[in-house]
Amino acid sequence: MASNGADRDPEIDRLLEAKARELTKKMKYSGVVELSKENFDDFLKTFRVAVVDFWATWCAPCFMLEPIIKRLALEMPDVGFGRLNTEEEPEIAAKYYVMSLPTVIIFKDGEPVDQVVGVVPKKILQDRIKAYLED
């Protein structure tokens, strides 16, 4: 029997609308997102767990890490992955005490919870991220 909508529960409608807004926002940040001061805070708020790769154009190891980050972004769709060019956004890098490149900071609920400095194998980075997805 088809419903005309009159017997719909308003609470279910509210939850469905909220979920649709959340999914739409996450779609805006699919893949690896180039971050700046304009979108950095919003990006962190969008994902329970977010990973930010701090890099610079002159940093050869940063370019070695880039394909690893891109692969993890494909394999871990519930995690937000972003890259922040420290030359363009030195204030954000300073806020998180990024002194060496590349530096990957894992955020949970908008707060930094782990940091990896230098190029590491994909498995190591993946395991560090997964540790924050489990609770």
Task: Determine which one of 35, 49, 51, 62 is catalytic.
Answer: 62
Helices (H), the chain: 10-28, 40-46, 60-75, 90-95, 122-130
Active site residue 59: yes
Which of the residues 56, 59, 117, 131 is marked catalytic? 59
- Beta pairing class for 49-55 and 80-85: parallel
Number of CB atoms found within 10 A of residue 61's CB: 14
User: Is position 97 annotated as part of the catalytic site?
Assistant: no
Active site residues: 59, 62
